[in-house]
Structure 1
């Protein structure tokens, strides 16, 4: 078996000049349209993100409106004052329950214990003693000046 030759195709190049120009035009179009397409896709995703943020903000506004409407009700205000501020109506005896077993954070730490013993907590000074000591310390830092008599 020999090689079959088709007449007229033996000397023709694989790509003609027309095909080369067509490929160059197509590649140029792809290169020209790539950036705007990428920008379009990025802008669409940004629009979707902004719409989601706007919807979230709308939901927050609606929640705040409902909250404001609740605070307009005098019974809700009374209930909140009783719960949060421990208010009581005249004639009622308010009670606050205290946990009989203190939590770990309420127990005195080892830094509060007396030196040398790890069991006894230091005596806590009243607030006015601490305040007066801080005034004395501030006074000791500056020299005393006598005020001239005003008479």
Structure 2
């Protein structure tokens, strides 16, 4: 025999010696535990358990993710409701309504003189007529449309 074959045989003998020393392995070997059919059945049972648990586990994890998304959405909506309720409480005060009207709508009480100060860098910040006047059209809209379509 070649040296390689002797090494393999020696390796098998070492395993056999180890199994011989270990009583648990002796009991398993003597009971026929290492039978190929039993191993195949064991593999099939484990695979069946894995497949039967995979679908419910996936469903559970998916539903958990959906629940967390809905809880986050619910928390956001609660915050929004709280902000809107605070805003509603503010707008029930007549002085707040007056301040909003003065600021946003530029209302002035009778007897007051309104002033709007426009600084050089404030274009577009003030309300009112900030746009430059457009020149009056020389033709009617339909004449301009027709000239655009015909290219004249």
Tell me which interval the TM-score lies in, with the shorter structure as reference length: 0.5 to 0.7
Q: Which has the higher helix share?
A: 2
Gapped regions of structure 1 (runs ≥ 5): 106-122, 142-151
Offset, 1:84: 0.9
- For residues 55 and 94 of structure 2, what CA distance do their matches in structure 1 show? 61
> Equivalent of 2:102, from 76, 82, 99?
82
Distance change in 2, residues 1:44/1:125 (3 Å): closer
> Equivalent of 2:114, from 94, 107, 115?
94
Name the Cα RMSD after superposition: 3.6
TM-score, L = length of structure 2: 0.59
Size of the aligned set, in residue pairs, is: 117
- For residues 63 and 106 of structure 2, what CA distance do their matches in structure 1 show? 54
Match of 2:91 in 1: 71
> Cα deviation per residue 1:15-58 (whole Å; 9 max; x = unaligned)?
44333312211111011111210111011111110111111112
Matched, 1:38 2:44: no
> Equivalent of 2:70, from 2, 25, 50?
50
3-state DSSP class of the match of 1:97?
A: coil
- For residues 89 and 122 of structure 2, what CA distance do their matches in structure 1 show? 39
Match of 2:149 in 1: none
TM-score, L = length of structure 1: 0.59
